[in-house]
Amino acid sequence: MGVKTLQIYKFLQKTIEVMKRIFSSNYFRNLAKELGIERISFECASELALIVQEKVSEILKVANEFAKHAKRNTIFREDIRLAIKKLGIRI
């Protein structure tokens, strides 16, 4: 593994850790309340958080491949869009 690849891998790992804090089960419980949903179980909120974290991780990894292919170290919006399309995620 090259130095740049290792740096990118560490960056993605840090990004994923930050994302886990942002998209926590509490985030989804609060979002549910904002949407007028009176109650949501902790298990439901936790599952939503896990799903979002996993999907965003997949998207970031594939987007990074597109950026690398373009000889860039920066992931752009188009990389994200292409990654979502490649993964077959409907939004």
Q: H/E/C letters for each residue in the chain? A: CCHHHHHHHHHHHHHHHHHHHHCCHHHHHHHHHHCCCCCCCHHHHHHHHHHHHHHHHHHHHHHHHHHHHCCCCCCCHHHHHHHHHHHCCCC
User: Bigger pLDDT: 14 or 87?
Assistant: 87
Instruction: Give tens-digit pLDDT for 31-80.
Output: 889 999 988 998 888 888 888 888 988 999 999 999 999 999 999 999 99
What's the pLDDT score for residue 80? 94
Residue 3 has pLDDT above 90, yes or no: no
Q: Residue 2's pLDDT band (boundaries 50, 70, 90)?
A: low
Q: What is the pLDDT of residue 1?
A: 56
